[in-house]
Structure 1
């Protein structure tokens, strides 16, 4: 299966486990999955008989998905579900797409892409959190100079810094997990009234949701884009949380500071002495793109009447790009933190020459303990 947009962008992230579910091919295959499960649900509700369901399944299973051909054929109707359904109906005119509209297929396909990509993304976020827990525990009392507005401030501990990273990442991860878990099925028909399959429409919708393990919803969300907005903003928040860590790693890895060093720093084509925090830099690059992508999703909430005009169409590549960029940012911060060297001697040296004469870290240790306690409680809840 092809990657999302370009081999470089995805492969340079270092982990394509999420990206494989966000490609154009994956998106179109989820449309086919929707159509197959819809036929099953319609059969369970006695809208289609067993023969019709079997014929629909055979037609869908035998469909030769040509991504380039579907993309070209989508131009006339402005969405890829139309040529797919047309091709399927040319083989089986009775059991394909019962009571559905193209938006049902596309929205549900997007939801399924996001949920499947979300699994490896959440798994890697959990791994990042475990690294941060270890750093916070190990360096609970490792003193270092604090820095505010780019200037030396008063002392803190590296454990407190790592605990702050952990707290932000954990909160953003929890919001994303909740948003993905709450994603609904889309099945409403032409204007969202389920008229074509009345009086069985709501039953089909509920069965379809159960089969796809999505949330059923009595109100069709053709023009209520909040389910996707919630995921989009959560993805951008995750990217922002890991970008904060990346920025600190880059700063603390500077030659003059030398308090951190990535396990596999990057080199330079012109300066062989350099040990660049390349993974943190790449994390920043991926994460930096996400606010604008999330803003596009927010702009697309302007869905007029019963079908978005351009706004809906803007969502399909945008939210997949947003998920992919976030996944790459998380993969790069994991690479940056995994095996990172914390130079306590450099921290002590920089603290010794700090502008402040105060060596107290106050309640830093207790704050670390509180963050770690809360994190462990959440893992067991």
Structure 2
């Protein structure tokens, strides 16, 4: 049993998205953190910050390493985050005389934020492809049914007849714009977080810039002139984009649910949900879930904007709030895109007369 609908044993069938959720699994997080530590050791060894032999020993020792999860859980309870316990395990794994070179010059936030950046870059690629597929599906729907006349409505009242293409365009075009915005979102998210204790990389001295460039290159991220530990506009911007996507899909779902009403009959769904009491019904489950997920993300967005308020150089409270909210918003967006694709499959506008 779980408190989250996204990985609930049966509610996840309606609201979950395993492909997206995998990016936030413990395994994905640990794999990304280990990639950071190996790349850090290699970059520092290349610049002479740590001995060459230490860099090689760390990279070799961490390949295939599986940490003690129970120990990480205890450490997180004690320290507020898993990194101190993880680094201790890594040092033990590497052993003497090279353990003192593990995680050298870095801090916990470097590790956690870079892990998240690595995973979000992969996730955004998937979401982008799903949006583009939906746009193509809506283009096909326009080509087939766009000339069918339906009733236009303003203020929930019948207005004048409009072509179905007009309805579809109000679903398609925002998604196309979100796809165009994605490049800027990815650019802001796909950065290296590396600043050391208070964002100054003080332990690396005049080699800080070169180590940063090497580390970013190895991880496929963009190097920053200074760490953005307490500047969270990129994360809030991503949350805003996620909410925009689900909001646009929610508008489509709301329209479809209204047009599929028995009294309207302007849209025919390929399938619908059954009723335990009224077996004649075909409920527009997919359309309703698009509305639900839109409202869910819109609600969580305010929390992500609260997480912008990082006091001084690092905030435990605001940072932890991100961990609670952003993964849920991402999975909700994945679920909405998956649901929208299923909803459009077989959907048709009905010709009158």
Using the TM superposition, give the Cα deviation of residue 95 of structure 1 relative to its aligned residue in structure 2, in angstroms.
3.0
Using the TM superposition, give the Cα deviation of residue 334 of structure 1 relative to its aligned residue in structure 2, in angstroms.
1.1
The farther-off stretch of 22-31 and 116-125 is 22-31
Alignment deviations for residues 8-42 of structure 1 (CA, whole Å, 9 cap, x no partner): 45443464222211223322332222212212222
1:124 aligns with 2:135: no
Matched residues in 2 for 1:229 and 1:60: separation?
Answer: 33
1:355 aligns to what? none
If the length of structure 1 is used for normalisation, what is the TM-score? 0.85
Alignment of 1:175-324 (within 5 A): 175-183=181-189, 184-324=191-331
Q: For the Cα contact (< 8 Å) 1:243–1:284, is it kept in 2? A: yes
Matched residues in 1 for 2:227 and 2:11: separation?
Answer: 35
C-alpha spacing 1:5/1:59, structure 2 compared with 1 (3 Å): farther
If the length of structure 2 is used for normalisation, what is the TM-score? 0.91
1:70 aligns to what? 72
RMSD: 1.9
Using the TM superposition, give the Cα deviation of residue 322 of structure 1 relative to its aligned residue in structure 2, in angstroms.
0.9
Matched residues in 1 for 2:10 and 2:206: separation?
Answer: 50
1:79 aligns to what? 81
1:32 aligns to what? 34
The one of 326, 332, 349 equivalent to 1:342 is 349
1:357 aligns to what? none
Q: For the Cα contact (< 8 Å) 1:10–1:328, is it kept in 2? A: no
1:332 aligns to what? 339
Using the TM superposition, give the Cα deviation of residue 5 of structure 1 relative to its aligned residue in structure 2, in angstroms.
4.6
> Which structure 1 segments of 5+ residues have no match?
350-381
The one of 43, 46, 49 equivalent to 2:48 is 46
Matched residues in 1 for 2:19 and 2:193: separation?
Answer: 26
Using the TM superposition, give the Cα deviation of residue 260 of structure 1 relative to its aligned residue in structure 2, in angstroms.
1.3
C-alpha spacing 1:287/1:9, structure 2 compared with 1 (3 Å): farther
Matched residues in 1 for 2:170 and 2:64: separation?
Answer: 52
The farther-off stretch of 134-143 and 214-223 is 134-143
Q: For the Cα contact (< 8 Å) 2:16–2:331, is it kept in 1? A: no
1:107 aligns to what? 113
Matched residues in 1 for 2:69 and 2:163: separation?
Answer: 53
1:138 aligns with 2:144: yes
C-alpha spacing 1:13/1:305, structure 2 compared with 1 (3 Å): same
C-alpha spacing 1:246/1:69, structure 2 compared with 1 (3 Å): farther
Q: For the Cα contact (< 8 Å) 2:71–2:85, is it kept in 1? A: no
C-alpha spacing 1:166/1:114, structure 2 compared with 1 (3 Å): same
Using the TM superposition, give the Cα deviation of residue 182 of structure 1 relative to its aligned residue in structure 2, in angstroms.
3.1
Q: For the Cα contact (< 8 Å) 2:46–2:52, is it kept in 1? A: no
Matched residues in 1 for 2:42 and 2:195: separation?
Answer: 17
1:151 aligns to what? 157
Match of 2:225, SS state, is coil
2:93 aligns to what? 91
Q: For the Cα contact (< 8 Å) 1:28–1:80, is it kept in 2? A: no
1:358 aligns to what? none
Matched residues in 2 for 1:311 and 1:14: separation?
Answer: 26
